[in-house]
Structure formats: structure tokens, C-alpha cells
Amino acid sequence: MSTHGSEQHGHHLYTGLDNRKLAMWAFLGSETMFFGCLILVMLINKHNTLGSHGQEIFDLALTSFTTFVLLTSSMSMVLSLAAFRNGSVFWGRIWLGLVMLMGIVFLGGQVYEFSEFVHHGLTPSTNLFGASFFTLVGFHGAHVAIGVLWLGTVMLYSFRGRFRPGSDMWGIELVGLYWHFVDLVWVAIFTLIYLI
Amino acid sequence: MATVTTTAPDTRTFSGAAWSWITTVDHKRIAVLYLVTALGFFVMGGVEALLIRAQLARPDADVVAPDRYTELFTMHGTTMVFLALMPMSAAFFNLLLPLMIGARDVAFPRLNALSYWIYLFGGIFINISFVAGGAPNAGWFGYAPLTATKFAATHAIDFWALGLQILGVSSILASINFIVTIVNLRAPGMTLNRMPMFVWMSMITAFLIIFAFPAITIGLVLLLFDRYMSTSFFLPAGGGDPVLWQHLFWVFGHPEVYILILPAMGIVSEILPTFSRKPLFGYAVVAYSGAAIALVGFGVWTHHMFTVGLGPIADTAFAISTMAIAVPTGVKIFNWIATLYGGSISFKTPMLFAIGMVAMFIIGGLSGVILGSPPVDGQVQDTYFVVAHLHYVLFGGTVFGLFAGIYYWFPKFTGRLLHEGWGKVHFLLMLIGFNLTFLPQHMLGIDGMPRRIHTYSSDMGFELWNMVSTVGSFMIAVSVAVFAINAIRSARSGAISGSDPWDAGTLEWTIPSPPPVYNFAEIPVVDGQYPAWDAKRGGGNTGAVATVPETLEGEDEPHIHMPNPSYWPIVMAAGMVLAASGLIFHQIFILLGAMMFGISLIGWIEEPAE
């Protein structure tokens, strides 16, 4: 499945860009609309609380911390790709493992946040604030979880001999694109839903 | 034959042949699968329409019961839009995109097969509802709160919502595939402005799909949460807003109209030049006006909601954008007419359907501008005037365009020509039947006949036009039967077409019909918009295009790597649909489906692609 110059599966590539990377960009374009709609629904229902819980339930200290962790993971992702590209498989795996770890910490924070909210009496059926919140943040969390699993498979493949010095790195680039996108979506969610 | 390195199964036995279709990743065979399946669903949606027309032929009739009637008009719309017309366009994308841009296949052949199988299983899934407790019955745009558990306690709406989610996945995956194919697999020299117009319109359609479908995906997710997790996104009692559903649906739904019409416009833009013996007039303007239609198409959705009461400012703004979209559409029509002007026109069946498409689409476009005016829309909203308008656009436009394409490219599907005489009979019957069916519906609408009513009483003055409309609809049915017989007979024993029966200008006509599995023995080099015409008439580049041999025998046969067949796409698609069905039948299916999906994902990744 290696890429030879501007050839892929025997095809001449018009732009010289990897097919899989182009596909990922198109997919992320579609995802932008997906999260855009979810965020809009959340914004519409932000104050639709029916006298029950609303924004005051947010624990900004906790979420600021998990946000910091998730944003830092993007840096770790960049360093991982750079290390693999520079031929340092060891450091590539270290940074990759850190990305996974930070993703898991973020998810742990979200699980804790969700269970706290339910404990305080805010569920998806309490009011539309709750319904929109759990839907939006839940879908984002699912994307992070899929990202962690994907990173795990990349790690697995690195132990099975892929991503050696000089080989192609599209497998890491793809998961990197996805991870940065999921991060970026969180920046929008954190700003628009939690902070404002 | 050339040495094509695939491990194809033995197709001489029946099971071998069936297995070769199940595991195929060849874009041409997937195109055939799409076409046959879509025509099957087209007939199914047509039968639903005939039952509707039979019920409405006379006042106070009871041909079908009222409950069944709501199911029929819901499933007619859903089937025609998602299971017949979109997949029929996808059949042409599959067959033609690689051939027109000089590629050996699409960018991701297995993903392409996956899209097809998801579509097939999704279509079957929705239609199972007919025998599993009742079909969807809230209209093809499923307005809230008709879809709420309180008013729709059976699983009918769940079939609809889950089915559309499944079909959305298929469409988005296919579109990503087509975008990458067009952007990256064009032959050397085929710049954007040398692409055939069909490729342009396909690319625009694919972008529309990936940006429009997420809106309905979210709408359906919220609907399913309302039904399964007792949220109240669209339920006023819990603070929700039914109008939010309308916004989410039409943000998708209006671009969807262009998703349905742009491929037909692309088809017509190929056929008119071929049978006028001159290039498309104003090529760049036609291409960019398609892009403009797509762009403005995202900003007109509330013209479906003029009677909701969004206020005069919103109504004015969307009326302006709606009328503005008539400009690029008109530009296309004038360019098509200018293409005909001064040409030496030959009226073959594809040309008749293409001209029919332009003419019928003009009528549909004009009634669209009428409906774009909020005061007028207020008068005819939800009447048969709207039904007439949308059928002039989607039947007169899309269906005529798609039939034009079937007649034109039948040789590339089968190697044979459709019978010309029966084709003309089909065209005449369909043109007359179509106008008999839908022209009177304008009058019915202005007279005040609402759409989606089960019946009407004899003192309302609706009898004459309803009877005419029903007669017309059965004439359409006869025309489709003529086509079906012609297609089956011609596919078996029609005249052999040869590689270039129409003396056309684009790349797919430079290779044999049907094309060999590798399409192009040698990837062509392109330096014009009509490379095949250039090659035949000595203009432009005459190298690779002209020298591709019909068959490749002998010692220096090319060694071409083609992707291996794979059964993982069908397993993965089955897993996805099985998991979705678990929400209706039994939770165990969710687990089983997820396991099938997981196993096929691993199998997919580990399988060598070639």
C-alpha cells in the first residue's frame, strides 16, 4: 500500500496529494456541518431550562483543565509525527502514547462531568438545555473516543513494523488531521457553550 | 486480453457469477448494480404513485384506505428521492467519472462497493416496514410533531428515520469518493476547465451532498432521541420547537433539490453538443453557473416555510435569494439553446429526452419563480400547484435527463444500443403522459385542492382534472413498460454499438463498449474539452487518445494492476443495517451488527488492496 511518488494503486495523481488525505479533508468538511448544526441547536436551547438546571451547573475549573489537556494533546500529536518523520520511532511512540493518555484523561473528565450532572438531576429529558448539552458534548466525546482507538491501532501498527524511518507516514497524518479537527471543535464548544 | 492481475472468481457457473457481482469493486459493474436497483425502486415508487392516482381518479373513492394512503404518498416521495433518482445519478457517476477523466477506477474501489451495499440494504430496510407493522406515514419531509411518539406510536417513523440515516452514510461516503476521484485521478492535461460538463456537475453535486446531508443527520438524530430517550427537541410541551425540524430538514432539503437536478443538467450538457455537432456554448459560464446554483442553494431553504410566520424580513430575504437562483439556472438554459442554435441536429432518442428535459424544466422553473413570491405561496402552499411544480422539476427535469443518459450511455453499460424506434415511442408516451398528469395539477392547486388528502367530494369541481391526471399517470406507466421491455431485449440482442456510436467528443467514447476492466490500456493525455473529436478531426492532441487499440492481444500486452474483489464491503454494510434494525426489532441485533462491522473493518484494513 506504499505510495510511489505521484502514483497510488497504479493511478496517476493529478494534484500529487495522497488520495486518503484528500478524502479525510472532504470528510472533515462534512463533519464541520455536522458539528455546526449541533452547536446551533445547543445555542438555540442554551437558556431553555424550564426552571431547572442551566449553565450554572458547569464546573468551569474542571472543564478548563480538561480543555487544557486536550489542546496540549494536539501539540503532542505534532511532535509524534515529527519524531516518526525524523526517524525516531521511540520518541514517536512516546508522544503518540501521550496523545492517547491525554485523550483518555479528557474522556475521564467528561464521564465524571456527565455523572455529576445526572447526580444533580440534569438528564437529557430534564429540559432542552440538558438534551442539547448531552447530545453535543456526547457526540464530541464519541469522536474523541474513536480517535483514541484509532491512535491505538496506529501504535499497534508501529510495533508491527510500520512507520519505520523512510517509509510513508500517511497513517499517522490521517489520524493527526482527525485529532486536530476534534480538538478544534472542542475550542468552539468550550467557548460558545461553557464560557459565553 | 491483457494480463489483469485480479483473482476473479470463475464466472462461468451461476454461483461463481453471483459471487463475482457480490465481491466486485469494478466501478462499471457497481454502476450496473446501482442502475438496476434504482430502476427497481423507480418502478416501486411508480406503483405507489399509480395507487395514489387510482384513489384520486373519482370523488369519494375508497380504492385504498386512508391510513394506507398516507403511507403511499410518504413512501412515494421517500422512494423516488432517496432510492430511485439519487442512486440513478450515482449509477452515472460510477460508470462515467473514471471513463470521462481517463482513470482506471474511482479513488477507493472498496468504499464504492460499500456505498452501494449500504444503499441496497437501507432501501430494503425502509420497505420492510410495509410488512412489519406499517410504513412511514408522515410525508417525505416528516414534519414534527407528526413524527412524535404521541402521534406515531408504531415503528413506522423509526424505519423512516433510521433508513434515511443509513442512506445518508451511503451518499456521503460515495461523494467523498467521487470528489477525490475527480480532483486527483484526472488524466494528464485534463485541467478543471477541460473536464466534461457532466464531471463538473458531478463534482458540485458531491460537494452539495457532503455539506447538506449532515443537517438532516442531526435532525434525524434529535428526532430519534425524542422517540427513544424522551427528550423534547421538537415537542412544544417540553419547551421544544417543531419549526427547528423544518429548518434542519430544509437546510438539507433544498440543496437536495439541486443534488437531484445537477446531474441531469450535466447529462444534458453532454448530449446536446453531441447531437448538435458543436461544442457546448459558453462552457465556463455553464460550469460556474452550476457552482453558483449550489452556493445560493444553501441560502433559500425557508421558501419552503413561507407560511410558518418567520416574519416579513426573513420572507423577503429568502424570496430575493430564491428568485436570484433563477439567474444562473436561466444562464444554463440559454446556453443549451445557444448550443442547439446553428447546429446540425440529429433527433436520436437521447437528444429527444434531453430537449424534453430542457423544455419541461423551463416550465417547472417558471412555476418555481411564481412560488418564490411569499404572497402567492401563501395562496397555493400545500396545494396541488406545489405538487405540479415539483414534478415538473424532478420528473420533467431529473427523470427526463436520466432517461436521456440511459439511452445515450447504454452502450457503455452493455455494449449494445437501445432500440431507436421503441425509444421514440417511450419518449412520446412519456412526454404526453407526463404533461397530462401534471399540467392539470396546476389548475387543481389554484382551485384549492390540498395535497395529501385521501379524497374529495363531488361538489368541489376537482373531478375533471383529477381524472385527466390519473389517465396521464397510467400513460407514464405504459411508457416505462415500453422502456423496460426495450431495455431487457436490447441488453440481450440489441445492435452492437461499437466504441463510438454517436460520434461524440469525450474520452469514454475512445475505448471499447463495454470498456475493458482496466478502462484505458494507456492513460490518455488531454489537451482540449473534446479530446475524442480532436483526435477524429485532427485538431489538438492526437496521440494516446487515438491509438488505444480495441483489443490487446500479443506479446507486449500491458500488465495492469487492478484492485482485488472483496467481500468485506457487503459484510460491513450488512453489519451497519443489522445494528440499526436492532433499535426496532431486538437489541441483540445491535450487538451482532456491531460485531460484524468490527470484524469487517479489521478484515478490510488487513486485506491487500491489489
Q: What is the pLDDT of residues A62-98, one digit of tens each?
A: 999 999 999 999 999 999 999 999 999 999 999 999 9
pLDDT of residue A161: 87
C-alpha cell at B359: 423544455
User: What is the mean predicted confidence (pLDDT) over B124-143?
Assistant: 94
pLDDT in tens, A99-154: 999 999 999 999 999 999 999 999 999 999 999 999 999 999 999 999 999 999 99
C-alpha cell at B245: 425540524
Query: Inter-chain contact A1–B609, Cβ cutoff 8 Å?
Result: yes
Contact B135, B213 (CB under 8 A): no
**pLDDT over 80 at A4, yes or no:** no
Question: Is the ipTM, as predicted for this complex, more than 0.90?
Answer: yes
pLDDT band at residue B302 using 50, 70 and 90 as cut-offs: very high
Query: Inter-chain contact A128–B108, Cβ cutoff 8 Å?
Result: no
CA distance A105 to A190: 16
Q: Is B377 a catalytic residue?
A: no
Cell 483518555 identifies what position?
A104
Among A1, A11, A31, the residue with its CB nearest the CB of B104 is: A11
pLDDT of residue A16: 83
A7-8/B3-5 β-pairing: unpaired
Query: Inter-chain contact A15–B210, Cβ cutoff 8 Å?
Result: no
pLDDT of residue B56: 96
**pLDDT over 90 at A194, yes or no:** yes
User: What is the mean predicted confidence (pLDDT) over B362-391?
Assistant: 95
**pLDDT over 70 at B546, yes or no:** no
Q: Is B170 a catalytic residue?
A: yes
Question: In A, which residues are within 8 Å of B248 by CB distance?
Answer: 37
Among A11, A44, A135, the residue with its CB nearest the CB of B185 is: A11
pLDDT in tens, B310-367: 999 999 999 999 999 999 999 999 999 999 999 999 999 999 999 999 999 999 999 9
Cα of A33 to nearest chain B Cα, Å: 6
pLDDT band at residue B10 using 50, 70 and 90 as cut-offs: low
Question: In B, which residues are within 8 Å of A14 by CB distance?
Answer: 183-186, 188, 190
Residue ranges with strand state E in B203-354: none
Task: Give me the helices (H) in B57-85, please.
Answer: 66-78
Dmax over Cα atoms in chain B, in whole Å? 81
Question: Which helix H or strand E contains B598, and what residues bound it?
Answer: helix B587-606
Q: Does B145 sit behind a cis peptide bond, omega within 30 degrees of 0 on the bond before it?
A: yes
Cα of B70 to nearest chain A Cα, Å: 30
Between the alpha carbon of residue B353 and those of residues B40, B266, B358, B392, the distances in Å are: 21, 14, 9, 14
pLDDT in tens, B182-238: 999 999 999 999 999 999 999 999 999 999 999 999 999 999 999 999 999 999 998
Question: Which helix H or strand E contains B468, and what residues bound it?
Answer: helix B463-493
- Choose from B111, B184, B235, B247 for mutation: most chain A CBs within 10 A: B184
Q: Is B304 a catalytic residue?
A: yes
Question: In B, which residues are within 8 Å of A43 by CB distance?
Answer: none
Strand partners of residue B560? B4
Cα of B346 to nearest chain A Cα, Å: 36
Cα of A14 to nearest chain B Cα, Å: 5
pLDDT band at residue B384 using 50, 70 and 90 as cut-offs: very high
Q: Is B256 a catalytic residue?
A: yes
Query: Inter-chain contact A48–B239, Cβ cutoff 8 Å?
Result: yes
Among B108, B560, B562, the residue with its CB nearest the CB of A23 is: B108
Which has more confidence, B545 or B260?
A: B260
Q: Is B140 a catalytic residue?
A: yes
Cα of B498 to nearest chain A Cα, Å: 27
Which has more confidence, B487 or B549?
A: B487
Cα of B591 to nearest chain A Cα, Å: 18
pLDDT of residue A71: 96
CA distance A135 to A128: 10
Q: Which residues of A touch B (CB under 8 A)?
A: 1, 9-15, 17, 19, 22-23, 26-27, 29-31, 33-34, 36-38, 41, 44-45, 48, 50, 124-125, 127-128, 131-132, 135, 153
pLDDT of residue A12: 66
Query: Inter-chain contact B231–A10, Cβ cutoff 8 Å?
Result: no
Which has more confidence, B546 or A103?
A: A103
Query: Inter-chain contact A11–B180, Cβ cutoff 8 Å?
Result: no
Among A17, A27, A38, the residue with its CB nearest the CB of B184 is: A17
Instruction: Report the chain B residue with the minimal C-alpha distance to residue A122.
Output: B231
pLDDT band at residue A9 using 50, 70 and 90 as cut-offs: low
φ/ψ (deg, to 5) at B595? -65, -45
C-alpha cell at B479: 411508457
Catalytic residue among B329, B398, B470, B600: B329
Question: Which helix H or strand E contains A80, and what residues bound it?
Answer: helix A60-85
pLDDT in tens, B141-197: 999 999 999 999 999 999 999 999 999 999 999 999 999 999 999 999 999 999 999
Cα of A57 to nearest chain B Cα, Å: 19
- Choose from B97, B183, B519 for mutation: most chain A CBs within 10 A: B183
**pLDDT over 50 at B547, yes or no:** no
Closest by CA to B567, choosing from B596, B533, B536, B532, is B596
pLDDT in tens, B513-542: 999 999 998 889 998 999 999 988 875 544
Q: Rg (Cα) of chain B, in Å, rounded?
A: 24
pLDDT of residue B550: 42
CA distance B299 to B409: 34
- Chain Cα centroid distance, residue B308: 29
Q: Is B258 a catalytic residue?
A: yes
pLDDT of residue A54: 87
Among A27, A38, A50, the residue with its CB nearest the CB of B176 is: A27
Catalytic residue among B105, B158, B270, B508: B105
Cα of A45 to nearest chain B Cα, Å: 9
pLDDT of residue B3: 46
Mark residue B36 as left, alpha or beta (left: phi above 0; alpha: psi -120 to 50; beta: remaining): alpha
pLDDT of residue B133: 87
Among A10, A23, A29, the residue with its CB nearest the CB of B180 is: A23
Cα of A70 to nearest chain B Cα, Å: 25
Among B105, B188, B605, the residue with its CB nearest the CB of A12 is: B188
Burial code (b: 16+ CB inside 10 Å, e: under 16) for B484-502 equals eebbeebeeebeebebbbb
**Considering chain B, what percentage of its residues have pLDDT values greater than 90?**
89
Query: Inter-chain contact B222–A34, Cβ cutoff 8 Å?
Result: no
Helices and strands (H and E) in chain A: how many: 5, 2
CA distance A68 to A153: 25
Question: In A, which residues are within 8 Å of B187 by CB distance?
Answer: 12
Question: In B, which residues are within 8 Å of A181 by CB distance?
Answer: none
Q: How many CB atoms lie within 10 A of CB A187?
A: 13
Instruction: Report the chain B residue with the minimal C-alpha distance to residue A25.
Output: B176
pLDDT in tens, B85-112: 999 999 999 999 999 999 999 999 999 9
Cα of A30 to nearest chain B Cα, Å: 5
Which has more confidence, A1 or B297?
A: B297
Handedness of CA B542, B548, B554, B560 (dihedral sign): positive
Q: Is B89 a catalytic residue?
A: no
Among B176, B184, B215, the residue with its CB nearest the CB of A13 is: B184
Query: Inter-chain contact A38–B218, Cβ cutoff 8 Å?
Result: yes
C-alpha cell at B63: 380504492
Catalytic residue among B160, B258, B456, B518: B258
Query: Inter-chain contact B561–A9, Cβ cutoff 8 Å?
Result: yes
Dmax over Cα atoms in chain A, in whole Å? 63
**Considering chain A, what percentage of its residues have pLDDT values greater than 90?**
82
Catalytic residue among B34, B116, B119, B140: B140
Q: Is B171 a catalytic residue?
A: yes
- What residues contact residue B167 under an 8 Å CB cut-off, 6+ apart? B82, B83, B118, B119, B122, B123
CATH topology for the B57-549 domain: Cytochrome C Oxidase; Chain A (1.20.210)
**What residues does each domain of chain B span?**
57-549, 564-610
CA distance B422 to B487: 10
Fill in the DSSP letter of residue B267: H
Among B190, B210, B232, the residue with its CB nearest the CB of A26 is: B210
Question: In B, which residues are within 8 Å of A30 by CB distance?
Answer: 172, 176, 210-211, 213-214
B3-5/B559-561 β-pairing: parallel
C-alpha cell at B460: 368541489
pLDDT band at residue B553 using 50, 70 and 90 as cut-offs: very low
Q: Is B254 a catalytic residue?
A: yes
Question: In B, which residues are within 8 Å of A9 by CB distance?
Answer: 561, 563, 609-610
What chain A holds in terms of domains, given with CATH numbers, is: 19-195 (1.20.120.80)
Q: Is B329 a catalytic residue?
A: yes
pLDDT of residue B608: 79
CA distance B493 to B419: 10
Instruction: Report the chain B residue with the minimal C-alpha distance to residue A42.
Output: B233
Q: How many CB atoms lie within 10 A of CB B176?
A: 25
pLDDT band at residue A8 using 50, 70 and 90 as cut-offs: low
